[in-house]
Amino acid sequence: MESEIKNHYNSDHLTQNIKAALIKAGKDLSNLELKDLSPIDQIHTGGARSSIELFKKLNISSDALVPDTLFLDAGCGIGGSTRLLARQFKCRVIGVDLADKFIEAATFLTQCTHLETLASFQQGSILELPFENNTFDAVLCQHILMNIEDKVAAAKEFFRVLKPGGKVLLHEIAKGENDPLLLPVPWADKSSISFLESWNIMSHIFKEHGFGIESFSDQTSGAIAGWEKFNALSKKRPPRPNALGLGIIFGSDAESFGKNMYTNFKKNVICLVEAVLKKSYNK
């Protein structure tokens, strides 16, 4: 199953195609700003703004962090949120992703944004994280659980690698009350790699495996508004061939994402949830 999911994300020549699109857009590869990359590295619902709002819920400032503070971006893609975390807190962040092409692109883009001393990347599985116990102060879990069938194993791994009192920042697509899921969507072009679950079940899994829920909010209304705006802008400015955008990763499927995501949210097939979970005891 992991190989099928990996193939969904492993776009051929991804780094070279991103580089070419950035040059075509007139960007200086030796001195990129994070905002230059947002059309392709902030592809989760809500984009960078939702990530920054989620980070604030850690209730810490960069000045308050100890030198060995370490965060994990689980399922980092090409590293957009990894770089945001590194810039926001000025601490070390490690991104892990199953897709080796994503890791290659993430490393390149992090060098272009001069964040390589803080943000680094490793290829690996969320279900078998390549880290020691009690390593991280926080884990970012952002739009990854839809591709993970064994959510119990994921919760156990997050618990294992977090330090006592460490937190999971969760920003996920959850199963709504209706079916079917309109495909393709960013995480799946076929139903066999989509493993949506309701927030009730996901929260139960985390609570059963050592986490307390510090906060929770349903962000679905904002998701509907966001995809509606995305679709309106896309009509005004249709994507150009080889332009910096989702098509570089997902090809022609990306043309359907806006319509399908809006419809899925609007019909309550999916919903957007945000939570802060705290490692509450040692098992």
Of the given ranges (89-93, 207-211, 265-269), which has the lowest mean pLDDT? 89-93
Q: Work out the pLDDT band at 114, boundaries 50, 70, 90.
A: very high
Q: Is residue 64 over pLDDT 70?
A: no
> What is the rounded distance in angstroms from the CA atom of residue 234 to the CA atom of residue 258?
9
Q: pLDDT tens, 216-255?
A: 999 999 999 999 999 998 888 766 666 788 999 999 999 9
Q: Which domains does the chain have, with CATH numbers?
A: 2-279 (3.40.50.150)
Q: What is the pLDDT of residue 3?
A: 87
CB 249 within 8 A of CB 135: no
The pTM is what?
0.94
DSSP class per residue in the chain: -HHHHHHHH--TTHHHHHHHHHHHTT--TTS--GGGGHHHH--STTHHHHHHHHHHTT---GGG--TT-EEEEET-TTSHHHHHHHHHH-SEEEEEES-HHHHHHHHHHHHHTT-TTTEEEEE-BTTB-SS-TT-EEEEEEES-GGG-S-HHHHHHHHHHHEEEEEEEEEEEEEE-SS-PPPS-BTTBSSGGG-----HHHHHHHHHHTTEEEEEEEE-HHHHHHHHHHHHHHHHHSPPPTT-SSTHHHHGGGGGGHHHHHHHHHHTTSEEEEEEEEEE----
- Nearest-angstrom CA–CA distance, 139 and 93: 10
Q: Residue 182: count other Cβ atoms within 10 Å of its Cβ.
A: 15
* High-pLDDT (> 70) share of the chain, %: 95
Q: What is the mean pLDDT of residues 136-142?
A: 97
Tokens of 218: 């349903």
Mean pLDDT of the region 85-95? 94
Give pLDDT, residue 242: 62
Pairing of strands 270-279, 162-175: antiparallel
Mean pLDDT, residues 4-8: 91
pLDDT tens digits, one per residue of 189-207? 999 999 999 999 999 999 9
Reference 131, options 74, 208, 211; nearest CA is 74
Question: Which single residue is written with the structure tokens 């780094």?
Answer: 15
Predicted local distance difference test score (pLDDT) of residue 275: 98
Specify the residue for token string 């989702």: 246
pLDDT digits 0-9 by tens, 263-282: 999 999 999 999 999 999 75
Distances (CA, A) of 122 to 81, 96, 166: 15, 5, 21
